[in-house]
Amino acid sequence: MPPAAAATLLLLLLLAAALPLSSAATRCPDCGSIRVPYPLSTSPTCGDQSYKVQCDAGGTLLFDTLNNSYPITSVDPESQRFVIEPASLLANTCVTSDLVHQGVQLNSSLPFNVTSSNTILYLNCTTLLLSSPLNCSSASLCHTYVNGTRDAAACGAAPICCTFGAGGSTTSYSIRVRDAGCRAYTSFVNLDTSEPVSLWPKPGMEIQWVLPPEPVCGAQSDCDGNSTCRPDPAGSGVSRCFCQAGLKWDPTQGVCVEIVTCQDPGGCGTDRTALIAGLTSGIGTALVAAIVALLLYRRHRRIKEAQERLAREREDILNANGGRAAKLFTGKQMKQATDNFSKDRLLGAGGYGEVFRGILDDGTVVAIKCAKVGNTKGTDQVLNEVRILCQVNHRSLVRLLGCCVELEQPLLVYEYIENGTLFEHFRGEGRGKLSWTRRLQIARDTAEGLAYLHFSAVPPIYHRDVKSSNILLDEKLNAKVSDFGLSRLAHTDMSHISTCAQGTLGYLDPEYYRNYQLTDKSDVYSFGVVLLELLTSQKAIDFNRASDDVNLAVYVQRMVEEERIMDVVDPMLKEKASTVDVETMKALGFLAVGCLEERRQNRPSMKEVAEEIEYIISIVTAKVVES
Ligand SMILES: *[C@@H]1O[C@H](CO)[C@@H](O)[C@H](O)[C@H]1NC(C)=O
Ligand SMILES: *[C@@H]1O[C@H](CO)[C@@H](O)[C@H](O)[C@H]1NC(C)=O
Ligand SMILES: *[C@@H]1O[C@H](CO)[C@@H](O)[C@H](O)[C@H]1NC(C)=O
Ligand SMILES: *[C@@H]1O[C@H](CO)[C@@H](O)[C@H](O)[C@H]1NC(C)=O
Ligand SMILES: *[C@@H]1O[C@H](CO)[C@@H](O)[C@H](O)[C@H]1NC(C)=O
Ligand SMILES: *[C@@H]1O[C@H](CO)[C@@H](O)[C@H](O)[C@H]1NC(C)=O
Ligand SMILES: *[C@@H]1O[C@H](CO)[C@@H](O)[C@H](O)[C@H]1NC(C)=O
C-alpha cells in the first residue's frame, strides 16, 4: 500500500473512532460519589450535550452558570432536579463571593431553571428594594435568619434584607445580586418556615432540568437499533433518533422502551358491549330492545319539552327591561359556528378561558368566549350579568352580542375585532406603526371606554382586568376594550377572606392586597400600567429586567423619582420626537404615575384621566398645525 493511501486510511479510521457513536443515549459515569443520570453530560461521549455539567478532578460535580460554577450536592433524576451550593459570604462582610458575577445567572437558552421550591433571602440591600414586590419588612424571614446564624452575623449591621420564593415569577434564570440592589443572598430548598433557624437545612438552591428530547444524530449510525435518524418535525433543522414503531422515547432513561398497552381488561375501561350482550342473552333480545326504545323515546320527549320551556324563560331574563336585545344562542349554533370548537378556530386563551372565532348562520364573524364561571354561579345569574353587559354601548368597547348557557360552560358571543391586541402590537412588527399620536389616541379611546363603564353604565361596571392584552385594535388601530365585567361573572360570591386573586399580575391595584376589593380606582391603577406600556413598549412584568425592576410600575416610578423618565421611553418614539413630543411624553408619564398612586383616593378618576389625555393630544396636534 502506498504511504499516502495508508495515511488516508488511518485518518478515516481515526475519524470513525472520534465520531460520537450512539453519543447521546448513554449515561455518564458517576462523579465521585454522585450518580450522574441521563441527560446530564460530563463529556462529549455521554449524556445529552445540551445538559453539560462538569466533573472536576476531585470528584465534585459542578454546574456552570454564565460566569461561575457551583458544586452540585445532590441529584434527583425522578423529579429532574439537582441542588447546588450557593456562594458564601466573604469573611466578616455581608457580601457574597459571587457579587462580582451578579449572583447566580443561568444561561436562559439552556434547559435549566431555578425552581419555585427555593426560598431566597436577599441580604444587605439598598432602600430601592423597599418598593419592590419582595417582602423586605422588618418581620421578613431574612431577619430571623441573620439573627440566628453565626456565619451571617456581619449582615446584622445591614438593616435591609428581603425574602421571596424563587422560580415561576422573577427568578427562573437569575438570582441577581448587585451593588445597586442586594449584595448578598442565600437560599433554602423546601424551607419549613415554622422551624427555628437552628433546625434549617444547609443552604442550597434547587435547579430543574427540562426532560430531554430524542438525541441529535448526524447519521443512522449515531442511533441504536431501536431508533431511526430522521429530521425533527418540530423544525430547527436537526435530525434526531426517533423510536421505531411500538416503542416510545423514555426521556428519564434516554432509551426507547416498549409502549405498555392495557394487559388487564377489568382495569382500564370496561368493555360495555360485552356487558350488555351478557345481560340480554337470557331474555328475548327483541323484547328488551322494544322496551328500551320506548323508554328512550319518552325520556327524549320530556327532555325536549323542558328544554324549550327553559329557553323561553332564559330569553325573558336576558331581555328584561328593554335595552339592546341580547341573543340567546343554542349549543348547536355555537358548535356549528366554531366547527365544533376546532383547534384551528382557537383565537387565544385569556384569563377567563378560551376564545374561538365563530361564523354565525348569517355570515357574521364573532368571537366566542368560554367563560370559566365559578361553579356556584347559577344560570340565571349568568344571564342577568350578560344582560347588563349587553346593554353597554360605546365605540371603544367590544360589543357583547349574547350568550349560550346550554353547554357545560357558558359562552359569551362578542363582535369580532380583526387586528389583534395592543399587547401583540408591542411585541410584533406593529410597534413601528404605533406613532406617538396613535398611542395617545389609543390611550384616550381606552380611557373613554372605561370612563363610560364607570360613569354611564347602569349599574356601574368595573372592568377589573384592564391590561394591554384586553385592548383590541381594529384595522384602523382604534382601541376597543374587551372582557369588561367578566371577573364579576367569575367570582361574585368571593368573600373577603378568599385568597383567590382577581386581575393580572403587574396590573393589580396594590390596595387589593389590603382589603380584597376592587373599585373603579383599581381600573385606574391598571390603566396607569397600560399607559406605561404605551410609553415604553415594555411588558408589565418582565423577568428579563432585574428582579427589583420586574414590575414595570415599580421600575418607572423609580426612574421618575430619579428624574430619568425619558430613559424608559420607547427608543422608537424618542427617535422621531420633537420638543413638544418629549414634553407630552413626560406629561403622559406623570399622568400614569398619578394613576399608580398607592392610595386610591389620590388617584384621578377615569373621567379625569380621559380629559387629561385629550388635553395632551390637543397640545401634540396643535404642534402639527403650527409646523
Ligand atoms: C453591604 O454592601 C456594601 C457594598 O458592597 C459593603 O460595602 C458593606 O460592607 C456591606 N455591609 C456589610 C454589613 O457587610
Ligand atoms: C460574564 O462574562 C462575560 C464574558 O466573559 C462578560 O462580558 C460579562 O460582563 C460577565 N458578567 C458578569 C456579571 O460578570
Ligand atoms: C447559552 O447557551 C447557548 C446554547 O448552548 C449558547 O449558544 C450560548 O453561547 C450560551 N450563552 C452564553 C452567554 O454563554
Ligand atoms: C413578610 O414575611 C413575614 C414573615 O413570614 C410575614 O409575617 C409578613 O406578613 C410578610 N409581609 C408581607 C408584606 O408580606
Ligand atoms: C435574636 O435571637 C435571640 C436568641 O438567639 C433572641 O433572644 C432575640 O430576641 C432575637 N432578636 C430578634 C430581633 O429576633
Ligand atoms: C422550569 O422548567 C420546568 C420543566 O420544563 C417547567 O415545568 C417549569 O415551569 C419551569 N419553571 C420556571 C420557573 O420557569
Ligand atoms: C430495543 O428495545 C427492546 C425492547 O424494549 C430492548 O429489550 C432492547 O434492549 C433495546 N435495544 C437497544 C439497543 O436499546
pLDDT tens digit string along 126-159? Answer: 988 887 778 899 999 999 999 999 999 999 999 9
Domain boundary residue, one of 191, 209, 227: 209
Does position 1 have pLDDT exceeding 50, yes or no?
Answer: no
Instruction: Average the pLDDT over 31-51 and give the result.
Output: 93
Domain-located, residue 30: no
Q: Which ligand is nearest to the CA of 253?
A: 7
Which pLDDT score, from 0 to 100, does residue 270 have?
A: 37
Round to whole Å and give the CA distance between 483 and 498.
Answer: 22
Pick the residue with more confidence: 408 or 422? Answer: 422
Domain count, the chain: 4
Does position 499 have pLDDT exceeding 90, yes or no?
Answer: no
Burial class (CB in 10 A: 0-12, 13-18, 19+), 251: middle
Domain-located, residue 16: no
Which pLDDT score, from 0 to 100, does residue 405 have?
A: 83
Q: Which three cell numbers stand for residue 619?
A: 397640545
Does position 498 have pLDDT exceeding 60, yes or no?
Answer: no
Instruction: Average the pLDDT over 535-539 and give the result.
Output: 94
Same domain, 443 and 529: yes
Residues that are catalytic:
465
Domain-located, residue 601: yes
Which residue, among 189, 131, 192, has the nearest Cα to 162 in the 3D structure?
A: 131
Among 213-222, 271-280, 300-309, 395-404, which is the least confidently predicted range?
271-280
Encoded amino acid at 610, one letter = A
Instruction: Average the pLDDT over 67-76 and give the result.
Output: 96
Chain center to CA of 144 = 33
User: Which stretches within 338-421 are classed as H helix?
Assistant: 379-390
339-343, 408-412, 528-532: which is most confident: 528-532
Q: Residue 534: which CATH number?
A: 1.10.510.10
Among all chains, which residue has been given the C-alpha cell 372592568?
463
Spell out which residues line ligand 6, taking CB within 6 angstroms. 113, 116, 167-168, 172, 208, 210
Instruction: Average the pLDDT over 13-27 and give the result.
Output: 47
Pick the residue with more confidence: 588 or 390? Answer: 588
Same domain, 485 and 346: no
Ligand 2 touching residue 178 (CB < 6 A): no
Does position 315 have pLDDT exceeding 60, yes or no?
Answer: yes
Same domain, 191 and 234: no
Whole-number Å distance, alpha carbon 39 to ligand 2 midpoint, is: 27
Instruction: Average the pLDDT over 1-24 and give the result.
Output: 42
Instruction: Average the pLDDT over 219-240 and give the result.
Output: 87
- Condensed to tens digits (0 to 9), the pLDDT of residues 240-296 reads 999 998 889 988 888 898 877 544 433 333 343 433 444 445 555 666 667 667 777
Same domain, 466 and 604: yes
Q: Which ligand is nearest to the CA of 142?
A: 4
Which pLDDT score, from 0 to 100, does residue 352 have?
A: 65
DSSP line for 425-442: HHHSGGGGG--HHHHHHH
Same domain, 223 and 348: no
pLDDT class for 356, splitting at 50, 70, 90?
A: very high
Same domain, 205 and 221: no
Q: Residue 345: which CATH number?
A: 3.30.200.20
Domain-located, residue 364: yes
Instruction: Average the pLDDT over 22-41 and give the result.
Output: 84
Average pLDDT of every residue of the chain: 83
Q: Which helix (H) or strand (E) holds 10?
A: helix 3-18
Which pLDDT score, from 0 to 100, does residue 489 have?
A: 58
3-state secondary structure of 58: coil
Ligand 3 touching residue 376 (CB < 6 A): no
Round to whole Å and give the CA distance between 340 and 157.
Answer: 65
Same domain, 100 and 162: yes
Chain center to CA of 286 = 58
Round to whole Å and give the CA distance between 568 and 574.
Answer: 10
Which pLDDT score, from 0 to 100, does residue 432 have?
A: 81
- Strand 205-209 to 81-84 pairing: antiparallel
Same domain, 170 and 220: no
Does position 562 have pLDDT exceeding 50, yes or no?
Answer: yes
Does position 82 have pLDDT exceeding 90, yes or no?
Answer: yes
Instruction: Average the pLDDT over 404-432 and give the result.
Output: 84
Which pLDDT score, from 0 to 100, does residue 200 have?
A: 95
Does position 497 have pLDDT exceeding 50, yes or no?
Answer: no
Whole-number Å distance, alpha carbon 68 to ligand 3 midpoint, is: 14
Which pLDDT score, from 0 to 100, does residue 171 have?
A: 72
Domain-located, residue 341: yes
| Smallest CA separation from ligand 2 atom 11, residue | 101
Instruction: Average the pLDDT over 545-551 and give the result.
Output: 86
pLDDT class for 301, splitting at 50, 70, 90?
A: confident
Question: What is the extent of the structural domain holding 222?
Answer: 216-258
Q: Which helix (H) or strand (E) holds 104?
A: strand 103-105
Residue among 26, 221, 255, 259 whose CB has most ligand 7 atoms within 8 A, to mutate: 255
pLDDT class for 487, splitting at 50, 70, 90?
A: low
Instruction: Average the pLDDT over 55-77 and give the result.
Output: 95
Domain boundary residue, one of 395, 415, 435: 415
Q: Which ligand is nearest to the CA of 156?
A: 1
Does position 428 have pLDDT exceeding 70, yes or no?
Answer: yes
Same domain, 612 and 586: yes
pLDDT class for 585, splitting at 50, 70, 90?
A: very high
Domain-located, residue 611: yes
Which pLDDT score, from 0 to 100, does residue 92 have?
A: 93
Bridge partners, 479 (sequence order):
473
Whole-number Å distance, alpha carbon 79 to ligand 6 midpoint, is: 12
Domain boundary residue, one of 354, 387, 415: 415
Same domain, 389 and 343: yes
97-101, 372-376, 489-493: which is most confident: 97-101
Q: To 10 degrees, what angle do helices 520-536 and 552-561 make?
A: 70
Which pLDDT score, from 0 to 100, does residue 503 have?
A: 65
Round to whole Å and give the CA distance between 471 and 399.
Answer: 13
Encoded amino acid at 221, one letter = S
Instruction: Average the pLDDT over 417-422 and give the result.
Output: 86
Q: Are 140 and 216 in contact (CB under 8 A)?
A: no
Same domain, 90 and 186: yes
Which pLDDT score, from 0 to 100, does residue 285 have?
A: 61
Among 168-172, 177-181, 460-464, 620-624, which is the least confidently predicted range?
168-172
Domain-located, residue 176: yes
| Smallest CA separation from ligand 5 atom 12, residue | 147
Round to whole Å and give the CA distance between 175 and 114.
Answer: 9
Does position 83 have pLDDT exceeding 90, yes or no?
Answer: yes
Ligand 7 touching residue 248 (CB < 6 A): no
With a pLDDT cut of 70, the percent of the chain lying above it is: 84
Q: How many CB atoms lie within 10 A of CB 568?
A: 18
Query: Residues annotated as binding site for ATP?
Result: 369
Same domain, 438 and 410: no
